[in-house]
Amino acid sequence: MLEGLRVLDLSRVIAGPYCTTLMADLGADVVKVERPGRGDDLRAWRGDGMSATYAAINRNKRCVALDLQHPEGARLALELARRADVVVENFLPGVADRLGVGYAAVAAANPAVVYVSVTGFGQTGPHARRAGYNTIAQGMSGLMALTGMPGQPPTKVGGSVADLAAAFLAFGVASAALVHRQRTGRGQHLDVSLVASTLALLPDPVAQYFDSGRRPTRVGNRNPNLTPAEAFRTKDGWLQVVVMNPDQYARFCALLGDDVLATDPRFATNDARLAHHDEMRARVEAALAGAPTAEWVSRCVAAQVAAGPIYEFDEVFEDPQAKHLGLVAEVEQPG
């Protein structure tokens, strides 16, 4: 889909590089600029200079070593930028300008360029010059405050979720800017920050906070607004269930064989179940203890109740749907 699109990647680590990888996956010609000798910081995550994380985050790209602090390196990078449709960088605000590869310098020679800056906090403001990484953004966006068990410390969400949120948003706004350029002939400078991108993952708690004035708290694996919608213990593991409406709840109670859950006023409505959550949960888990997770998944699916197992990470890739969709592909990685 993006064959013929030329992308210059001046970014490092995860957020910026993964944005350009998404473009490369769709056929764009991506040239990644790295520092001579050391390269991208991700290379050092394994001693031989080619960590698995680096390879995954930077697949399908061509790489070139340029010292942007040297006049010749900066000149060559600017020459690449002049020929690019998209430039992605994640320097601290002002650094790209100082190196001679900022938006003003690039757009002077390439007015149609779509120039994407991925920052921790944005181009301006009291935090603009601060370094931002995944866990910093998770903490300052409120995501960690919402994650974890009640009464326990704030918890980081697994994976580099803040980086990837920014990467996907950067990919989206760059794509929109390319459509705008096709219509108008004009490029533009776009900024995507890690903190704003991570906050964008939380529209429901944000809306609830401004609607009620009450600060959301950690509720563990349950949905604070809907129940049953959480992870329950079974005979041999865990079952994730989401019951969205009264019809689904009736079917769930029937397959559990618990008449009290089906008829007691404490559990008759979603609001009532939220008010008596601990009692409801105890009854659900008492019923689920009678059979293994796989059996409960089959029963729920047959009853049209949304449910699934909670996999250990190595089990994810053995799931028949993952295999059917081809979510994992074996490739040869140079180096």
Lowest model confidence (mean pLDDT) among 45-54, 176-185, 205-214, 283-292? 45-54
Give the active site residues.
163
pLDDT at 308 over 70: yes
pLDDT at 47 over 80: no
The per-residue pLDDT for 50 is: 83
pLDDT at 331 over 90: no
Q: Which of 70, 178, 172 is nearest to 118 (CA)?
A: 172
Token pair of 331 as six digits: 């490739």
Q: What are the residues whose beta carbons fall under 8 Å from the beta carbon of 76, sequence distance 6 or more?
A: 66
Beta bridge partners of 119: 193
Query: Strands 62-65, 29-34: parallel, antiparallel or unpaired by DSSP?
Result: parallel
Q: At residue 54, what is the residue type? A: Y
Q: At residue 18, what is the residue type? A: Y
Distance separating alpha carbons of residues 39 and 2, to the nearest angstrom:
26
CA 310 to chain centre: 19
Percentage with pLDDT > 90 across the chain? 93
Q: What are the residues whose beta carbons fall under 8 Å from the beta carbon of 6, sequence distance 6 or more?
A: 28, 29, 31, 83, 84, 85, 86
> Quick one: angle between helices 161-184 and 15-25, nearest 10?
50
Q: Which of 223, 229, 227 is nearest to 242 (CA)?
A: 229
pLDDT at 46 over 80: no
* Per-domain residue ranges of the chain: 6-199, 229-325
Q: pTM of the prediction? A: 0.92
Determine the CATH number of domain 6-199.
3.40.50.10540
Give how far Cα 45 sits from Cα of 54, 55, 204, 240, Å.
8, 11, 36, 34
Beta bridge partners of 232: 239
The per-residue pLDDT for 335 is: 60
Per residue in 5-25, pLDDT tens?
Answer: 999 999 999 999 999 999 999
DSSP string, 252-267: HHHHHT-HHHHH-GGG
Per residue in 246-286, pLDDT tens?
Answer: 999 999 999 999 999 999 999 999 999 999 999 999 999 99
Distance separating alpha carbons of residues 99 and 271, to the nearest angstrom:
58
Q: At residue 245, what is the residue type? A: N
Give me the chain's average pLDDT, please. Answer: 96
Sign of the dihedral defined by the CA atoms of residues 101, 103, 104, 110, in that order = positive
The per-residue pLDDT for 227 is: 97
pLDDT at 26 over 80: yes
Residue 121 gets which letter from DSSP? S
Whether the link from the prior residue into 228 is cis, omega within 30° of 0, is yes
pLDDT at 334 over 80: no
Instruction: Say which CATH topology domain 229-325 has.
Output: formyl-coa transferase, domain 3 (3.30.1540)
pLDDT band at 236, cuts 50/70/90? very high
* Interval 151-167 mean pLDDT: 97
Q: What are the residues whose beta carbons fall under 8 Å from the beta carbon of 69, sequence distance 6 or more?
A: 99
**What number of CA atoms fall less than 13 Å from residue 179's CA on the CB side?**
5
